[in-house]
Structure 1
Amino acid sequence: MRSSRRLPTQGLAAAAALACSSGALAQGLTVAQDQRVWLQVSAFRPNMDSRVRLDETDSVLQGTPLDGETDFGLARRKTVPAVLLGGRLSERWRAEFEYFSLDRSGSATTDGIRFGDGQFVADIDTRMRTQTYRLSAGYSFLKQPDREAGVLLGAHVTDALLRVQGAAIVNGQAVGAFTERRSETVPAPTVGVYGSWRPGAGRWELSGRVDLFKLHIGDYDGRLVNLQANAMYRLTPHVGLGLGWRYHDLRVDADARNFSGEIKYRMNGPQLFLQAGF
């Protein structure tokens, strides 16, 4: 009987301790959402679909429209590392910088394709690399402890490299080993929206963003669509582990002196990321 009378008192003490610890954790997570600086490292595992055409220099002769995965033997899936650095400029203003690179090489056999100044007629080795830099500034028109939404203005800069090596016919002459290499930097101003929500102001955070671009500038005609949807679980108030889906679609059609042709590539697939903020 004596021990049974102590049980209610012990239970109340345990409940009070649990409530205090839960309150302290919630307070820590609330502070963490207003991080001034955050760093995110991710591994993006997309399915890729690329199209490319490279026209002959100083000529109206167009190159052969090519499928990067079928005609060049490039991998359809590859892990793409990415790094993102963000920071708050004020209560409602924020800025982010992201970098990721896709570099693929392949080999194939062709019976005749025109790529740039060469008509390749046998085995070819190909490299296709794109490096993407994304810089954006955002304004949060909605800013509450458990949710945030805003608009973005920024730029995607893509540095593309295309290289094909093999036996070819150049200016009517057979060349045993010919290399066609072109590179181009494509800047694309973007507009977009972003948002995040923490259900119950707890450890989970759902977020997403959309970046869009469609514009004709000089000798370039381009389109860009970048979509992300993520779910992150905060392991601690300052460290989170997340899983999401990303879609990236870039199309550029150029008629410039140093690059005439088109580049189209689409990537979509899951991404895993680790984020730290302070």
Structure 2
Amino acid sequence: MKKIFAFWILTLFWIPIKAQTAADNMLSESLSTNNAANDDFQDQYAEDLPWHARRFKVTAGAFFPVNNTQVQVARNGNSGTMIDLEDDLGFNKSSTSFMGTFDWRISRRSRLGTEYFVLNRSSSKRLEKEIVFKDHTYNVDVLVTAFFDVQIARIYYGYAFLSKPKYEAGLLIGAHVLFGDLGLRTETQQGSGEIRDNFAFTAPLPDVGIWGEFVLAPKFGLFVNANYLSAKVDNISGRIISYNLSVLYNVYQNFSLTAGYTGLNFRIDDQEERLNGFLKWGYNGPTITATYTFGNHVKLYKH
């Protein structure tokens, strides 16, 4: 599975870059008679909007999601319990995490981007119902401590079908890769030992979507995107829906602040030879990030 996924990622990078290079060469020939006028316009545009359409963009900040999580792990044919992490194990619905992104505008219409998100959660609760999780049964009224640690990496390629100085829109193709680890632990009744189980998994989920970027005013910008796909890779099947809406305020030159609302909703089924796992997880909430753009301005033509 790792070799197939690595090949898919390399193909995602290589084909769009080669195709876009050829397209841009053709475009530059067709616009040769208008180069002087366009260059004058571009220079003025870059001076008015120093933060927009730069070659590189880096963001980092905080995410405040509200979580809804369901998990079921069965082993060797037993019927694992469907567990609601927030209701059954006492996980807080609200949390705070770090997120970061990096974007590279390859050309006028093409861009590559990466995102990274991390969220580590833990809880302690006396059970109100019996839970069967992996190898053990956790009885009613025992004190269980649990953790759910997740890292999500995303890579995507975007192509702009509309590419104007103050608005762009296009398609996205990419993949989220979820690295998760869920564990439960409790002491035995005699207090001389403990029982514990954990379920670790890696789930690559491709997705496709649409995006748009708009200049609202000299110091304000708007970015939106939405992604969806349902697919199966080897023994892992999944569905993903994600979206983002954010407003940018340019503080000074290349530095800006961004406030937005982000959501990501997963459904994953992992079918192994002796282990079956199910995860349904949605997190949605506001984001606050700092944005820094650098590199030369990408040419955006008004005609």
Q: What's the TM-score bracket when you normalise by the shorter of the two chains?
A: 0.7 to 0.9
What's the CA shift string for 1:106-143, capped at 9, x where partnerless?
01112521000100121111011111000001111111
Q: Of Structure 1 and Structure 2, which has the larger fraction of its residues in strand?
A: 1
Q: Is the 8 A contact 1:40 1:273 kept in 2?
A: yes
Instruction: Give 1:98's aligned residue.
Output: 115
Under a length normalisation based on structure 1, what TM-score does the superposition of the two structures give?
Answer: 0.84
Secondary structure of the structure 2 residue equivalent to 1:90:
coil
CA distance in 1, matches of 2:159, 2:275: 36
Q: Does 1:207 align with 2:227?
A: no
Q: Does 1:74 align with 2:74?
A: no
Q: Is the 8 A contact 2:269 2:279 kept in 1?
A: yes
Secondary structure of the structure 2 residue equivalent to 1:69:
helix
1:237 pairs with one of 237, 253, 258? 253
Q: Does 1:88 align with 2:105?
A: yes
Instruction: Give 1:139's aligned residue.
Output: 159
Q: Does 1:35 align with 2:51?
A: no
2:235 pairs with one of 219, 224, 230? 219
Q: Structure 2: which 5+ runs fail to align? A: 1-42, 295-303
Matched-pair identity in %: 25
Compared CA separation, residues 43 and 152, structure 1 to 2 (3 A): same
CA distance in 2, matches of 1:264, 1:117: 21
Q: Is the 8 A contact 1:62 1:261 kept in 2?
A: no
CA distance in 1, matches of 2:83, 2:106: 45
Under a length normalisation based on structure 2, what TM-score does the superposition of the two structures give?
Answer: 0.77
Instruction: Give 1:156's aligned residue.
Output: 176
Q: Does 1:117 align with 2:135?
A: yes
- Whichever residue aligns with residue 51 of structure 2, its letter is A
Instruction: Give 1:273's aligned residue.
Output: 289
Q: Does 1:53 align with 2:86?
A: no
The size of the alignment, in residue pairs, is 248
How big is the shift at 1:248?
0.8
CA distance in 2, matches of 1:254, 1:175: 34
How big is the shift at 1:31?
4.5
Instruction: Give 1:65's aligned residue.
Output: 82
Instruction: Give 2:17's aligned residue.
Output: none
Q: Is the 8 A contact 2:204 2:233 kept in 1?
A: no
How big is the shift at 1:215?
1.2
2:203 pairs with one of 176, 182, 186? 186
Q: Is the 8 A contact 1:119 1:168 kept in 2?
A: no
CA distance in 1, matches of 2:227, 2:257: 23
CA distance in 1, matches of 2:85, 2:156: 30
Q: Structure 1: which 5+ runs fail to align? A: 1-23
